[in-house]
Amino acid sequence: MERERKMSREVIVCKDISKTFDTARGPVHVIDKVSLSVRENELLVLFGPGQCGKSTMINCMSGLEPVSSGSVEVSGRLVTKPGPDRGVVYQRMALFPWLTVMGNVEYGPKVRGVPKKERRERAQHYINLVGLDGFENSYPNQLSGGMQQRVGIARAYCNEPDVLFMDEPFGHLDAQTRYLMQEDLMKIWEKEKRTIVFVTNNIEEAVYLADRIIVMRNCPTSIKTEYEIKLPRPRDYVDPEFLRYREEISAVVDKAL
């Protein structure tokens, strides 16, 4: 009951957001009147083919890019610029290569003035959570792709934002590592629930992770349809119900060129 009530609180509210880029070849309309809301501790997957502007969605929702029209609210506050109440995990990791794992994870609390002892403890907690204990003093270029993205996840978690945006975080990983990361992300999320908006173009990943999947249309991005995934966790990639969802969603997705 408690969880049901909390789940119903809407943490992210997007109202009619549109985004147009002015380019040398004229304006390009990337997002077309998208309205959506994300409930507290929900894992929402934005799923769509190819380059359909999903990353731009994340940039607009996180405040990195201004919207052309419409509005985004996180925890009731209007999003206009980047801010630490929103965390982002990037496809290209975007780790600070001159900082160690510890340095990267504690970066957020550090720039926000959290005392050293406290932020070290907090960073250590999240480093342990993502399974990187023992690698605190390694530099990112000494780690594998999967481990680097664990640092990315720990860094975002450590800032304790209201919401986490994950922009195809496993897109650059090989298939085996990708499965492992999906499983581990679920374990992390089960241990420490957060509101997550996860972007992917991989349907299996979408069904494995999501509470709810929003299927996006291609260029300009708009909402096509959405699915609640009511499967128990941990999910099984070859469970008949899993495959049924997979098939059903595949059928409605635009084919990417």
Partner 1 sequence: MINRFHKGAKSYEKTICAAIAIFAFLCIWQLVVSFTKAGMVLAGPVETFAAFFKAIVSPIGTHTIEGHILWSLSRVLVGFVLGSLAGIVLGILMGWFRPISALFRPIFELLRPIPPIAWIPLSIVWFGLGESSKYFLIFYSAFCAVTMNAYSGVRSVDAELMGAAKMLGASNRQVFTSIVLPSCIPQIFAGLQIAVGTSWATVVAAEMVRSSEGVGWVIIKGQDSNSTVQILVGIVAIGIIGYILAVTMRAVEARLCRWSVRGK
Q: Which residues bind partner 1 (CB under 8 A)?
A: 62-64, 81-84, 86-88, 90, 92, 94, 96-99, 107-108, 111-112, 139-141, 155, 159
Residue number with CB closer to partner 1 (111 or 256): 111
Residue number with CB closer to partner 1 (3 or 92): 92
Residue number with CB closer to partner 1 (153 or 206): 153
Task: Name the minimum Å distance from CB 64 to partner 1.
Answer: 5
Q: Counting beta carbons within 10 angstroms of the beta carbon of residue 212, is it exposed (0 to 12), middle (13 to 18) or buried (19 or more)?
A: middle
Task: Name the minimum Å distance from CB 84 to partner 1.
Answer: 3
- Distance CA(176)–CA(181), nearest Å, equals 9
Residue number with CB closer to partner 1 (125 or 233): 125
Interhelix angle 116-129/145-158, nearest 10 degrees: 130
Task: Name the minimum Å distance from CB 255 to partner 1.
Answer: 29
CB atoms inside a 10 Å sphere around CB 147: 19
Residue number with CB closer to partner 1 (93 or 249): 93
Bridge partners, 13 (sequence order):
37, 73
Residue number with CB closer to partner 1 (162 or 211): 162
Residue number with CB closer to partner 1 (147 or 215): 147
Task: Name the minimum Å distance from CB 236 to partner 1.
Answer: 35
Task: Name the minimum Å distance from CB 249 to partner 1.
Answer: 30
3-class state of residue 176 by DSSP:
helix
Task: Name the minimum Å distance from CB 11 to partner 1.
Answer: 17
- Distance CA(116)–CA(111), nearest Å, equals 11
CB atoms inside a 10 Å sphere around CB 59: 21
- Distance CA(37)–CA(212), nearest Å, equals 11
CB neighbour list of residue 48: distance below 8 Å, 6 or more residues apart: 54, 201, 215, 216, 217, 218, 221, 253, 254
Q: Which of 188, 223, 183 is nearest to 205 (CA)?
A: 183
Using CA atoms of 172, 176, 181, 187 in order, give the dihedral in degrees to the nearest 10. 170
Largest CA distance in the chain: 54
Task: Name the minimum Å distance from CB 166 to partner 1.
Answer: 13
